Chains A and B, each alone.
Chain A
């Protein structure tokens, strides 16, 4: 969910950015990272752990922890918390270490 009223910050209306998450069309805004747009839509699972298949979510937001690594436009291990959202991006949950394409 987006912040609407804030005592200090203002969030101007920004241009919509269309993308898909697991083939489902979603809308983010210019200035979003992939992860911020997903959290806005209530997405909590960004991936699964390699060995025990445990759900992985948004954790550090600064590209440190790798919990939000996803497949973006067929490229694996994209750190979605520091990758700007772009029009037409195809974002998918990653289930393994990722494959080189």
Chain B
């Protein structure tokens, strides 16, 4: 069995930021990612980030990914396994990986799960028809592989991802026929929405998709209006022909790996779903296992990077290889996190973290 000091599962913003701190602290790190390349969802993000300099503001997502990867990939104490999926997690820091043809068993002193999140689905008639896709899928297809999903898209959901992906569809010369939002108001930032409206994209609030129409692939969607209780308004149905429908109705934390280990988890709605309960050092009820980033609660990539850095610092300390600038760095990153969460969208997260804190105090 192979031995490593720290294994990081997931090479996205959280995992890479944790890796950087660990590498600097001279810890032997292995990053495992099931995708062909590191960077997580950053590699498909063409928009510029908000926030402060530390949070990589004004940089585009894919450039941030390059920078994060650059910081660690040549380090002699960092091993990177791509195209490799972690398929098993056991007590005492043991995990198994699968990479196309072979299983491997690895023992680590500490495991950091930075598995991110997956997109939520939406229940409606025929929702399994081909050409109904997740927003992340469309982003990947266009911005990583340079392929467009179709010619005419109806977007379901007006959160930031729905709005950003709609704009990216326009940039790729794909028609966005409508953006449909069930809530009475647009979910994402006004700056994204107004850009789309200026480009002639219609955003309909208090409407939802009732049915997808098509036999072997999508041909149209049926949209209905909703009243204040989210019930369908009679005779409000309209049919919008389209060849692609994008579902962008939020994310839920990828808790599945942690759940293999029987660690304490809880459904915390404010964090986006079922999450692992961790203490202030990101440590779960299994002392070998840490969880960080969106896997711990849905936020933005900026927060995932700050959390990742903090987690990396704590883990280094927990294996007696404290980062030389531990105190200063922890203070800085925690302050950044605090700043990120003080905005209007942060309340939700803070509420969720309060519940997490209470749960964690009952763990040990």
Contact = CB atoms under 8 A, between A and B. Distances in A.
Interface of A: 1-3, 5-9, 11, 31-33, 36, 39-40, 44-46, 49, 54-65, 67, 81-82, 84
Interface string B208-236: 00000000110000000000000000000
A39 B34 CA distance: 21
A9 B136 contact: no
B36 A82 contact: yes
Interface in B1-34: 34
Contacts of B119: 60
Contacts, number: 99
17 contacts: A2-B147, A2-B148, A3-B147, A6-B172, A7-B171, A8-B60, A32-B145, A36-B147, A39-B149, A45-B130, A55-B129, A56-B128, A56-B130, A58-B149, A63-B35, A81-B137, A81-B140
A62 B130 contact: no
A19 to B, nearest CB: 15
B146 A39 contact: no
B145 A33 contact: yes
A6 B143 CA distance: 10
A55 B137 contact: no
Given A57-B217, A59-B132, A82-B83, 19 more contacts: A2-B148, A3-B146, A3-B148, A6-B146, A6-B171, A9-B46, A9-B143, A11-B146, A36-B144, A40-B147, A45-B130, A55-B216, A55-B217, A59-B133, A63-B85, A64-B118, A81-B137, A81-B140, A84-B83
Residue of A49, A59, A63 with highest tally of chain B CB at under 10 A = A59
A23 to B, nearest CB: 19
B280 interface: no
Q: Is the interface of A mostly helix, strand, loop or mixed?
A: loop
A61 B85 contact: no
Contacts of B172: 3, 6
Contacts of B93: none
A84 B82 CA distance: 12
B137 A57 contact: no
A40 B119 CA distance: 23
Contact of A44 (B85, B128, B130, B173): B130
Contacts of B149: 39, 58
B131 A63 contact: no
What are the 10 closest A-B residue pairs judged by CB atoms, nearest first? A57-B130, A61-B137, A36-B145, A11-B146, A61-B140, A44-B217, A44-B130, A40-B147, A3-B146, A8-B46
Nearest to A52: B128
Interface in B33-64: 34-36, 46, 60
Given A3-B148, A63-B34, A63-B35, A36 B118 contact: no
B113 to A, nearest CB: 15
Contacts of B140: 61-62, 81
A43 B292 CA distance: 37
Contacts of A2: 146-148
Contacts of B141: 36, 39, 58, 61
A60 B137 CA distance: 5
B85 A3 contact: no
B33 to A, nearest CB: 10
Contacts of B106: none
Contacts of A55: 129-130, 216-217
Interface string B85-125: 10000000000000000000000000000000011000000
A6 to B, nearest CB: 6
Interface in B158-196: 171-173
A82 B146 contact: no
A62 B118 contact: yes
A57 B171 CA distance: 24
Nearest to A49: B128
Contacts of B130: 44-46, 55-58
